[in-house]
Amino acid sequence: MSELLKGREMEKELRQKMEEAVWVARSLFERNRTTGSSANLSFLHNQSMYITAGGSCFGTLTEENFAVMDMEGRPLGDKKPSKEWPLHLGIYRKKPRTGAVLHTHGTHAVLWSFVPVRDETDCIPACTPYLKMKLGRVCMVPYEQPGSQALFDAFEKRVMSGDGYLLKRHGAVVPGADIMDAFYCLEELEENARIAWELWRAGEGSEAYWMHAD
């Protein structure tokens, strides 16, 4: 393949990834999975990380709202990345099959993070079979100030303990093979958190119940 043709194929691939990322962001925003400028997402392309710029809103996201970084965390353009870019880069470095990462502050994921759990490496009950089928185990990460080095350190210690992550009092972090895969996994995490929360509120949150939830 000539360098020109290869370049065109890479450009086409990047455009498709951008279009999917923008669609996912809009879908999450329009369905109240996130609000304001609180969420961030990223994907890999040509050995670089494309991540939403700081202050970006999922509801108005465009292809112009992405910052680019190398795999050492160095910026490759003039856009400032989301302050939580180390969460994304930490997953890419330790889980090389990951192609995209989503971080949102979904209401039910945050609510569930307040509920005491028996196993912090598997903190959301698989109320439907699809959580385990799509994503796997969700690991709880203890609360630290958003965007702080303490949060990044706590996350790094637990990144290999789960397939997805629930930051206490903060929100979900979900990797995927690509942006659509991460989106599907995030949907299952949020839906299972919603069902678990409703069951817990209804008085079904006993030790015996959760022992048999899987």
Catalytic residue annotation: 84, 130
User: Residue 24: phi, psi to the nearest 5?
Assistant: -60, -45
3-state secondary structure of 73: coil
Q: Is the dihedral of CA 61, 166, 89, 178 positive or negative?
A: negative
Q: What angle do CA 164, 85, 10 make, to 5 degrees?
A: 90
Q: Measured at the alpha carbon of residue 98, what is the angle toward residues 25 and 196, in degrees to the nearest 5? A: 60
Q: Which of 133, 135, 140, 134 is nearest to 118 (CA)?
A: 140
Measured between alpha carbons, how far is residue 156 from residues 31, 45, 66, 92, 139 in Å?
30, 23, 24, 11, 12
Q: Please list the alpha-helical segments (H only) found in 31-104.
A: 85-94
